[in-house]
Amino acid sequence: MKQPGPEKVLKEQKIDEKWWDNWIRKGGWRPEGWKIIEMNDGPTLNNLRPEKFLIVHRPHGNMFHHSYGKTSKFFMGLLEGKLYGTKCPKCGLVYCPPRAHCFNPKCRLEETKWVELSKKGEVHAHTVMAIAWPSMAHLQPLVGAMVRIDGTNTCLPMTMRDIDPEKVNIGLRVNIHIEKQPKGDLLDVYATPAEKPKAPKRTPEELKRFREDMEKTRAWVKKTFGK
Amino acid sequence: MKGKPLVSIVSAGLSKFGKLEGLYAREIFAEAAKEAFDRCPNLNPKNDIQAMFVGHMGEAYEHQGHTGATMADWAGLLHIPATRTEAACASSGAALRAGIYAVLSGLCDVVMVGGIEKMTHRTTPEVTEYLAMASDYPFEQWHGITFPGLFALMATAHMHKYGTTEQHLAMVSVKNHYHGSLNPKAHMQKEITLETALSSRVIAWPLKLYDCSLITDGASCLILTRPELAKRYTDMPVHIVGSGQASDTIGMYEREGFTSLVSAKIAANKAYEMADLKPEDVNVAEVHDCFTIAEIIAYEDLGFCKPGEGSGLVEKSETKLGGGIPVNTSGGLKSKGHPVGATGTAQAYEMYLQLTGQAEKRQVGNAEVGLTHNVGGSGATATIHIYRRG
């Protein structure tokens, strides 16, 4: 009988081994600095007294190697500019994000089949993010949307481009794109409007605030990242 | 079991909530444990407590896992069986539920349940990243969506469907800050105006800084026992009469709608049924206001109003102290703070104070029945508990 594994590398985008140099130089992640602080502490709020504490600054980082598991084909598809989902052969549900097994209780974890999807869809919910993971901070204000790709039964979260953040609305038809130089994660996928967007209802005061907020965010990004 | 007490809370403890920069999580937990022990002189912790369940979400914060044993050790309870429960922000709601299982199974007479999180020593982007671990890794986190982002998606869907406005969201924040100003253990004990909330920096539109709960350090715990043993420890027990927990898809993207949490509705129905009570029987509630929109959705999921009418409840001050059903009298996650692992049992701590008449300036008069609503992630877990004055 066949056993799972062993692995063999079919194709690779190698990481620059120098990535590690900084960390290795830190010498086993011993503290790089420290501070002594004083703060009020005590067993109850009525018994607080100033106490001293030592705080160290310790380098602590890693390169996270992980598999996309049975949904890998979706991400391999991105590397080739294609959008894949999965379909349950029993109940016909189409998943994107893909699931390797159908979660419809009637289907008892039936294995799904891969299908190529259209690059059109519709916005089901949206936001404009002005706080993001450190690696994405320069992209703010970042329009995030739940997009139902035509022919699927779920929504794929993705970012939106070429749209004024104030115009994003539920029901907007969108075209879905994949980055020209994909990296192999969901940020390779983005949507642009496929029709003239109709902004959600806002009072003049709300609109004024919204625009000020966007201006503040853009100014912060410019100050922090210089673009 | 319908309407009968499942277990009784005979004591409870809560650490100070805030930026406790110099302390370790375990030390903060010991502070909460000490309060619970001091409140209950008849309890001999070492002899009486037979098991401990402690909610904790992230070992990333302190690079410290194995939380069950660590907290039992620092609470002076060696060598009891101690287990960590993890369900994101509902970790200690799940710990409470585990404690109920332990007592009802007959295996334990007295258990300690609680929760802990130490967060403020990490930067906000780091905390945002760790919290995002409670959402789907490949398809939510890597679209760059943060927790404010996920709840903002719910907010835009709710606004679109029901006409909820940014003003309504801000009203939740103003109310919870008012309640928090009355709670000496709250992280942010200050009142704010509607204008402050509305003009604060946008985080994930429509959510602004004052729509988001606080990054907080804190711990909480409860001592549970079988109802028939409660009087041995206290004259003022609080009975838990209903308990519900449910799960939902880890990714929000597979849910049919974004304006309600199915897990919370299922868990609430179970808890109401077990308690033989209806939403209108509840006198005071603590709900999971990780973001202001979550509180409005909670009103609807818990049946305090019809779907879509949550904003009206806050607009009419129904959920403010003095209203028909005061919600988040502690200040909620918004003002009291949200040390994620500690939140579930911190909500139960507030119910313990309210139902034993010890909530001081924020006491709800004649509170007989209370409810807590604790949600993990974007609603993949919900734990609901119903309490009755003993």
Tens-digit pLDDT profile for residues B173-212: 999 999 999 999 999 999 999 999 999 989 999 999 999 9
Alpha helices in B203-342 (DSSP H): 230-233, 262-275, 292-301, 310-315, 332-335
Residues 254-273 of B with CB under 8 A from A: 254, 258
B338 noted as active-site residue: yes
Closest residue, chain A, to B253 (C-alpha)? A155
Contact B153/A at CB under 8 A = yes
Nearest to A134 among B34, B125, B208 (CB): B125
Same domain, B233 and B365: no
In the prediction, which pLDDT does A223 show?
92
Q: Which residues of B touch A128 (CB under 8 A)?
A: 152, 202, 204-205
Mean pLDDT of B8-20: 97
Q: Give the CATH number of domain A119-227.
A: 2.40.50
Instruction: Specify the CATH number for the domain of residue B59.
Output: 3.40.47.10
**A60 contacts B63? CB cut-off 8 A:** yes
Parse chain A into domains and list their residue ranges.
Answer: 17-57, 68-117, 119-227
**In terms of residue numbers, what domain contains B232?**
7-122+216-238
The answer to whether the beta carbons of residues B293 and B205 sit under 8 Å apart is no
pLDDT per residue over B59-107, tens digit each? 999 989 999 999 999 999 999 999 999 999 999 999 999 999 999 999 9
In the prediction, which pLDDT does A106 show?
95
Q: CA-to-CA distance for B283 and B47, rounded, in angstroms?
A: 36
Mean pLDDT, chain A cut into blocks of 10 residues (227 residues total): 72 76 63 89 88 86 84 96 97 97 95 98 94 78 95 95 95 97 92 96 91 91 85
Same domain, B262 and B286: yes
Annotated active-site residue in B158, B239, B338, B385: B338
Same domain, B168 and B286: yes
Nearest to A127 among B201, B205, B253 (CB): B205
In the prediction, which pLDDT does A23 show?
63
Q: CA-to-CA distance for B22 and B25, rounded, in angstroms?
A: 10
Closest residue, chain B, to A97 (C-alpha)? B139
Same domain, B280 and B226: no
Whether residue B298 is predicted with pLDDT greater than 80 in this model: the reply is yes
A10 versus B257: which is more confidently predicted? B257
Q: Is residue B36 part of a domain?
A: yes
The answer to whether the beta carbons of residues B52 and B111 sit under 8 Å apart is yes
Q: Is residue B180 part of a domain?
A: yes
Q: Which residues of B touch A95 (CB under 8 A)?
A: 254
Q: In what side-by-side order are the strands of the sheet with A94-95?
A: A94-95, A84-87, A113-116
Q: CA-to-CA distance for B178 and B75, rounded, in angstroms?
A: 33
List of residues 6+ apart from A91 with CB closer than 8 A: A102, A104, A106, A107, A110
The DSSP code for B1 is -
Alpha-carbon distance values, B16 to A56, A227, B216, B218, B346 (Å):
23, 43, 10, 6, 11
Same domain, B62 and B101: yes
In the prediction, which pLDDT does A25 show?
58
Distance from CA of B335 to the nearest CA of A (A): 18
**A157 contacts B157? CB cut-off 8 A:** no
In the prediction, which pLDDT does A44 show?
84
Same domain, B206 and B83: no
**B144 contacts A159? CB cut-off 8 A:** yes
The answer to whether the beta carbons of residues A34 and A55 sit under 8 Å apart is yes
Q: Is residue B174 part of a domain?
A: yes
For residue B53, give the nearest of B100, B117, B109 by alpha carbon.
B100
Same domain, B203 and B300: yes
User: For chain B, what is the domain count?
Assistant: 2
Structure tokens at B18: 């805030």
Same domain, B175 and B43: no
Distance from CA of B197 to the nearest CA of A (A): 12
| CA of residue A164 relative to chain centroid, distance | 20
CA dihedral B302, B307, B308, B312 (to 10 degrees): -50
A25 versus B53: which is more confidently predicted? B53
Alpha-carbon distance values, A221 to A103, A213, B241, B278 (Å):
41, 12, 51, 50
In the prediction, which pLDDT does A30 show?
77
Whether residue B380 is predicted with pLDDT greater than 90 in this model: the reply is yes
Contact B157/A at CB under 8 A = yes
Residues B206, B211, B216: CA angle, nearest 5 degrees: 140
Q: Is residue B313 part of a domain?
A: yes
Average pLDDT, chain B: 96
Same domain, B34 and B154: no
Structure tokens at B167: 């003003």
Q: Is residue B220 part of a domain?
A: yes
Distance from CA of B4 to the nearest CA of A (A): 33
The answer to whether the beta carbons of residues B212 and B291 sit under 8 Å apart is yes
Same domain, B193 and B277: yes
In the prediction, which pLDDT does A1 show?
67
A28 versus B355: which is more confidently predicted? B355
In the prediction, which pLDDT does A13 show?
82
In the prediction, which pLDDT does B106 show?
97
Whether residue B145 is predicted with pLDDT greater than 90 in this model: the reply is no
pLDDT per residue over B299-323, tens digit each? 999 999 999 999 999 999 999 999 9
Structure tokens at B276: 């033989």
In the prediction, which pLDDT does B26 show?
97
Using the 3D structure, point to which of B238, B271, B291 is the last residue of a domain.
Answer: B238
The answer to whether the beta carbons of residues A131 and A142 sit under 8 Å apart is no
List of residues 6+ apart from B256 with CB closer than 8 A: none
Say how many CA atoms lie within 13 Å of A12 toward its Cβ.
6
Distance from CA of A213 to the nearest CA of B (A): 6
Q: CA-to-CA distance for A35 and B127, rounded, in angstroms?
A: 21
Cβ of B157: how many Cβ atoms within 10 Å?
A: 21
For residue B165, give the nearest of B18, B317, B327, B308 by alpha carbon.
B308
Strand partners, B13: B221
Same domain, B42 and B91: yes
Q: Which residues of A touch B138 (CB under 8 A)?
A: 68, 71, 75, 97, 185-186
**B23 contacts A97? CB cut-off 8 A:** no
In the prediction, which pLDDT does B1 show?
65
Annotated active-site residue in B40, B56, B89, B108: B89
ipTM: 0.89
Structure tokens at A59: 């380098």
List of residues 6+ apart from A7 with CB closer than 8 A: none
Find where tokens 């210089």 sit.
A226
The pairing of beta strand B110-117 with beta strand B51-55: parallel
B177 noted as active-site residue: no
B180 versus B132: which is more confidently predicted? B180
E strand or H helix that includes residue A209: helix A204-225
In the prediction, which pLDDT does B317 show?
98
Instruction: Kindly report the pTM of this predicted structure.
Output: 0.94
